[in-house]
Amino acid sequence: MEMKKKDLFPLLFVIGYLILNVIFTSKVFSLSHDSILYFWEIIGRLFVLHPHHLIFCPAMTLGSDTLTNLGFQSTQFAVNFINSIATTATLIIIYFTLKNNLGLNLFTSRIAVLLCAFSYANWFYAINIETYQIPLVFVFLLVYLITKRSLNNIDIILAACFGGIAVLFHQLHALMGLVVVIYLAITGLKTNVTKIIIFTLVFNLVWIVGYAIALYTLGYDTFDKVSYWFFLYHHEVNSWSGFGISFFAKPFVGIIRSIVSIHGLLIEGETNTMLLRIFAGKDLSDDAFIVRNMGAFDFWLYLLIISSLFSVIVYVFISQVSRIRRVFASNSRYFFFVIFMMLYAVFFVFWDPTNMEFWIPQSILFWICFAVLVGKITPKKNGIIIAGGTVVLLFLLNFRYTIQPASQIENDLYHTEVSEAIQSLPNNSIIVYEMEWIAHKYYKIFSPFEFVIPDSLNSQIVDFSFKQYINDMNALGNTVAVKSLVLENQKDIDESELPKHTKVVFGITEFFIFRADSLVKSEQFKAN
């Protein structure tokens, strides 16, 4: 009797992917803007209960504490490692879902996992401090249980618990409850009515209890407080996409950004300008900063790789379009993935559609579909070549233009600014900035400087005068570094009327430097 070969792919993948992510873990906070905020909350042990990702900060604080006690030297690395573990676990769950539940062959299952692993947003957030990867573990545990060939009430209860926990880690996965109910109803309402009731009760109980405990802890006891906190800025008009030409373009941009890095386009001036126009509401200066040292060769190589990648994708979908319906009709469990994709996609067509993080689940489902279609290509040799080529192109594109440069702290725009300021200014300096919470956190964490905002000075000082404030601080021995944009916004100030100053650029940000009287005299003495 022939011995059945062991499937070593899961073990080899876990080892390889984790080693890769450890070596190239992100040291750049600025690309994922919220990373520095979460880092601030975690190192400050603030245990913030944010309504959109309720238990992320407490969980990451406790998790990073555990890892640092075990010998991890850096909190940033510890949190990144937790996200890498979560992403790897999600991909292994996907592998067994495809192989065991959908009955896909080893080739298709492995290719799907590799494509998902190197898909841009999924990989990028696996090595950063962000909220999106941990809930996916629970989402795909739910998917695994719901798509089992034999589904019992225990599976339903466990799936509901995992779904509820996913909601506590990120609010957007409340959609998963609706996905499961629709799937169970369509595939057999009469036979699944008990399962639907059980799932609905347990799923909602888990997240409602979690939020109830949070509300009690926060002391929110009125409807206005609760509703404002729960929805926060979700209700703001600028978060929702209005109808128009851009309505159809924005989701396309979102899904593309979740699959491939766009940083290569920021190398060249004209495409850089085009992207700045497309993303007019977003600051891409930190994105452009990580590719600032790349030249024309890198730009044309980027275009070659990305055009080759999308040519392959288009070829596969066009050549296999006639098979799509037959493939999905061959197994009712495929229908779950269709509902999953459609419900999430439709919601994010309307809400913040250009943000790549909200398309991570859909990008995973996209690559699963792609892998299934590649697996149907005949002769099989052609399918293997196409699949392998796609994995290589996807890896090269995202690694070369984001993952690798993001592993170097010198490519962090704000950290570079702070580092250069530290080298040029005395420790008792005052940094004056506009209302910019990202820069604020960088200066608070990485510098000895005091960080002030003009609006706060206006509210604290009667008859506030910017010129007088600078003179007063200089008289006290403090050097004042004012971001040029702040002075431009002070309509009553003319540069010629300002105290003696110099202009300096830290990173890409220009500052007016007003040195303390004692320092000015000391420098004059040295000069003479």
Each residue's pLDDT tens digit, 327-361: 777 788 899 999 999 999 999 988 888 889 999 99
Report pLDDT for 518. Answer: 53
Asked if pLDDT for residue 1 goes beyond 50, the answer is: no
pLDDT average, residue stretch 452-467: 73
Asked if pLDDT for residue 277 goes beyond 80, the answer is: no
Most confident of 15-24, 227-236, 331-340, 352-361: 15-24
Amino acid letter at 253?
A: V
pLDDT average, residue stretch 380-390: 96
Report pLDDT for 258. Answer: 97
Each residue's pLDDT tens digit, 31-51: 987 999 999 999 999 999 999
Three-state SS string across 38-87, please? HHHHHHCCCCCCECCECCHHHHHHHHHHHHHHCCCCCHHHHHHHHHHHHH
Beta carbons within 8 Å of 188's beta carbon, 6+ residues apart: none
Residues in the chain: 528
Report pLDDT for 280. Answer: 66
Whether 182 and 339 have beta carbons less than 8 Å apart is answered as yes
**Residue 321 has which token pair?**
């379009």
pLDDT average, residue stretch 45-70: 96
Long-range contact set of residues 272-281: C-beta below 8 Å, sequence gap at least 24: 278/253, 279/354, 281/238
Report pLDDT for 289. Answer: 94
Q: Is the pTM of this model over 0.75?
A: yes
Beta carbons within 8 Å of 373's beta carbon, 6+ residues apart: 316, 317, 320, 323, 324, 327
Whole-angstrom Cα distance, residue 219 to residue 215? 6
Whole-angstrom Cα distance, residue 377 to residue 319? 9
pLDDT average, residue stretch 106-125: 98
Poorest-pLDDT segment among 21-25, 321-325, 356-360, 395-399: 321-325
Find, among 260, 264, 265, the residue nearest to 275 by Cα.
265
Report pLDDT for 191. Answer: 92
